[in-house]
Amino acid sequence: MIGIGACPTAARYWLALVLLTPPLVGCSIDDLDLSGKACPCTGGWVCDTTRNQCIPEGSADAGTGGAGGAGGAGGQGGTSCDGQDDGTDCDGGQCYGGQCCSGCWDGVACQPGTELTHCGQAGALCQACGCSNDSCTEGACTPPDPVAHLSLGYEHSCAVLDGGTLWCWGRNQNGQLGLGDITAHSAPTQVGSNSTWALVAGGREHSCALRTDRSRWCWGRNQAGQLGLEDTVQRLEPTEASGELSQLTVGLAHSCGATSSRIISCWGSDSDGQLGIDGDGSSISTPTGLVGGEQWVMLSAGGRHSCAVRLDSTLWCWGYNIDGELGNGDFVDRSVPTQVGTEAKWVEVAGAGFHSCGRTSNDELWCWGGGLRGQLGIGQDGPNVNIPDPQRVGTESDWRRVIGGRSHACGLRGSGELWCWGANEGGQLGLAVLENHPSPTRIGQAGDWTDVAAGSAHSCGIRAGGGLWCWGDDQYGQVGSETGSLMTEPTRICLPAGG
């Protein structure tokens, strides 16, 4: 909900870039060897020249076609699967039907994993691509226009596609979808016809976005001036504001942005000091410079607080602090940026509803603030879990991304594993058990997630190839499943133009 994602296209974004590139897990069906030519494999995978398939490097049957088992088409490996249960690991894949399958198993035979109806990862059950306009490229389901950037509001969602179009869906009582009406939309709907959008940020009932020329556009509720248009008039469609920005983030009723020269300005509600301008608590409809100089490199707005990382890798927060979400050791609101600890180690921060999380330069994850629903990820929940100092989440040092929702959080680890924790009453963690999960829990077995976003009770993510997946409470259409139901596992969401 709150904060901006990693930018996927360097030519169109000016933010920190995190690329999580999974290995190519199959040969393109167009490149299969019909004349002795080896198929292309990358990222720790090598070609089995007999079967024309990419298999994990170091597999005993690499290049041999397999010494054991019954032989045959479609990727039987070298380890005997006699008497082994389906899904048991074997050299180069998993056992299915008595075969060591290094392609994917369709219930009858082992397939290369690259055809549209067999697009899957090596050793996994075959799966058709989730959207009718997807294509299977080198073993991955790929939409014609991949999702490039994603942001979730409280109960709505927006995405920018690689082609520069903007799409929004979900609750719309104040025009936060930018579609010219106040009707909820249960499926992704294009916002206007412009194709130069670069990134989008969703708040509770308003949204803002940047175009490739760095112009800022906002729409939705504006009672506190959170659109930054020098008035408090609601807008039902994107409306251009003055000035240029390179970064953008929005909270419940405030917004902040940064210029290319690292100057931060904020606007909207300042009820708890969340604008960081040392004001008197009055709302401001004009972007106003943050107290603290010109050395900011990354920012994220929480519900009623904000945080940012300086060029020297120190972390600073300001605003509402009743739950300790500022991380400065007490529970007192701040109207100017206040340093979190004393260490200069931070590379990313995620402001959330009542808590905050940050990632360090050695890829450790730390969280602080309100932990009522387990959103700190430290194995505790309940009314007494309000911690005003950063707490280490687990012992892992391979976190690549963190994002916060209202009372939950998600992150990416390793080469693209998805982990979530906190409240799950709406299925927003992607777990079927609808209760708090106070420790990070891996969501599914996919290892090719490239970005994730969180709202109030729903979440969405992007996987390799640019496909969009969402889950959680779809009451207002914010998941995009067009069912209005709880979706307790990641569900492929199709956009008419791709994604």
3-state secondary structure 268-310: ECCCCCCCCCCCCCCCEEEEEECCCCCCEEEEEECCCEEEEEE
* Nearby residues of 390 by Cβ (< 8 Å), 6 or more positions away: 327, 340, 341, 358, 366, 367, 368
**3-state SS class at 248:** strand
Tokens of 306: 């904000």
List for the chain the helix, strand, coil content (%; round to 5): 0, 40, 60
Residue 240 CB neighbours (<10 A): 11
The answer for 140, left when phi > 0, alpha when psi is -120 to 50, beta otherwise, is beta
What pLDDT score was predicted for residue 34? 26
266 class by beta-carbon count within 10 Å (0-12 exposed, 13-18 middle, 19+ buried): buried
Strand 185-190 to strand 166-170: parallel, antiparallel, or no bridges (unpaired)? antiparallel
Q: What is the pLDDT of residue 497?
A: 67
**Looking at residue 119, what is its pLDDT?**
73
Measured CA to CA, the distance from residue 178 to residue 198 in angstroms comes to: 16
Q: Kindly give the parts of the chain with pLDDT less than 50.
A: 1-45, 48-56, 58-78
At residue 440, the pLDDT reads: 98
- Residue 134, pLDDT score: 84
Distance CA 100, CA 164 (A): 43
Helix/strand/coil for 471:
strand
3-state secondary structure of 25: coil
Let me know the angle formed at the C-alpha of 447 by 478 and 23, rounded to the nearest 5 degrees. 125
In the beta sheet, which residues pair with residue 348? Answer: 359
pLDDT (tens digit per residue) in 155-191: 999 999 999 999 999 999 999 999 999 999 999 999 9
Question: Where does residue 30 rank: exposed (0-12), middle (13-18), buried (19+ CB within 10 A)?
Answer: exposed
Amino acid at 498: G
List pLDDT tens digits, range 168-177. 999 999 999 9
How far apart CA 160 and CA 168 sit, in angstroms, is 9
The pair phi, psi for residue 121, each rounded to 5°, is -85, 155
**Are the CB atoms for 147 and 499 separated by under 8 Å?**
yes
- The per-residue pLDDT for 149 is 96
SS3 category, 117: helix
Q: Looking at this protein, which amino acid is placed at residue 456?
A: S
| Nearest by Cα to 263 from 286, 293, 284 | 293
Q: What radius of gyration do the chain's Cα atoms show?
A: 24
pTM for the complete prediction? 0.80
Q: How far apart are CA 5 and CA 234, in angstroms?
A: 26
Q: Is 29 helix (H, G, I), strand (E, B) or coil?
A: helix
Q: For residue 97, what pLDDT is reported?
A: 82
Q: Which domains does the chain have, with CATH numbers?
A: 147-493 (2.130.10.30)
- Please give the structure tokens belonging to residue 420: 């979530």
- Which amino acid appears at position 230 of this protein? E
SS3 118: helix
**pLDDT at 296 (0 to 100):** 95
Give me the pLDDT at residue 168, please: 98
Query: Which of 189, 208, 188, 190 has its CA nearest to residue 198?
Result: 208
Nearest C-alpha neighbor of 113 from the set 179, 199, 38, 32: 32
pLDDT of the residue at 129: 78
Distances in Å between the Cα of 32 and the Cα atoms of 39, 124, 338 are 6, 20, 59
